[in-house]
Structure 1
Amino acid sequence: MDLKLELIILPVSDVDRAKSFYEAAGFRMDIDVTANEDYRVIQFTPPGSECAIILGKGVTSAAPGSTQGLYLIVYDIEVARAELVGRGIDVSELFHDAEGIFAHSHDGGKFVYPAGNKGQVAGPHPTRADYGTYATFSDPDGNGWVLQEVKQRAPGR
């Protein structure tokens, strides 16, 4: 059975402000439809992704900014970060974790989302291990995105 994640709904407080942010970040706008004054749907797809995001008015009851841990996997995190910064997006500096628990291990190691700054060490992973280097950014409401560098995906991915 294939289960493909296709869509994530992001709660935002100001639809036009969020639309401007995701356009600036280089996400492709797929639709912008207003059904009435209480319902508007905007769908964006990150470059190279098969999963899109929806934001709008009347699309979710979740609190604006409450979606966290949206991972964007990139081949070269320095290039991706520089492009986003060049587009006016406030992206953190590169970091890795002190204990190595965030980086996915090919031998069944565990993965833990790097919430907050606890355990973060400035700079890329010392050996530039796949799944080991991160940068973060947030949309204007605080929905949280994580860039993660992966050059060679784990088996079965």
Structure 2
Amino acid sequence: MDMKIELVPIPVSNLDRAKAFYVDQVGFHDDYDIPVNENLRFIQLTPPGSACSIVLDLNLTPMAAGAVQGLQVVVDDADAVHDLLVANGVEAEPVEDLPWGRFTYFADPDGNRWAVQQLPPRE
């Protein structure tokens, strides 16, 4: 039996600002932006190449805006992603070399924090 993580809620305080950040600055795909009712707007975004998406959350969960810490994406080239983020106005930390990979980190406007990992070469 397969169990795949499909959708992760990201609590934000402003849907339009968060969507612009993730799509225009980070490069996520804009999958859906659907007004469900007067209290719910469903915005699903997907990192390039990912099978898992995020949903921007004003009131889907009780989490406060900025509560998500440590979400991680894996990339082929941490330096290239870092440079792209910085060029798009994202405050990304310098790439750090660790035994388990190369990392850069960034946060969205609400403080949800992401890690970007380049896996070490397989031996």
Asked whether the two chains share a fold, i.e. TM above 0.5, the reply is yes
- Runs of 4+ in structure 1 over 3 Å off: 151-154
Q: How does 1:60-75 map to 2 (within 5 A)?
A: 60-75=61-76
User: Identity of counterpart residues, as a percentage?
Assistant: 43
1:140 corresponding residue in structure 2: 109
Indicate yes or no: 2:2 matched with 1:7.
Answer: no
- Provide the C-alpha distance between the structure 1 equivalents of 2:14 and 2:41, rounded to a whole number of angstroms: 11
Q: How does 1:7-156 map to 2 (within 5 A)?
A: 7-24=7-24, 25-95=26-96, 124-125=97-98, 129=99, 131-150=100-119, 152=121
Q: CA deviation at 1:63?
A: 0.7
- Provide the C-alpha distance between the structure 2 equivalents of 1:27 and 1:14, rounded to a whole number of angstroms: 17
**Residue ranges of structure 1 left out of the alignment (5+ in a row):** 96-123
Q: Could you state the TM-score of these two structures normalised by the residue count of structure 2?
A: 0.90
1:74–1:150 CA contact under 8 A, matched in 2:
yes
Q: CA deviation at 1:60?
A: 1.7
Residues 23-79 of structure 1 show CA distances to partners (whole Å, capped at 9, x for unaligned) of 121100100011222111100000111110001433221111001111110111101
More strand per residue: 2
Q: Which amino acid aligns with 1:84?
A: L
Residues 78-133 of structure 1 show CA distances to partners (whole Å, capped at 9, x for unaligned) of 011111111221100112xxxxxxxxxxxxxxxxxxxxxxxxxxxx34xxx5x322
Q: CA deviation at 1:153?
A: 6.2
1:75–1:151 CA contact under 8 A, matched in 2:
no
Q: CA deviation at 1:151?
A: 5.2
SS at match of 2:105: strand
2:102–2:120 CA contact under 8 A, matched in 1:
no
**Residue ranges of structure 2 left out of the alignment (5+ in a row):** none
SS at match of 2:109: coil
- Provide the C-alpha distance between the structure 2 equivalents of 1:149 and 1:83, rounded to a whole number of angstroms: 15
Larger radius of gyration: 1
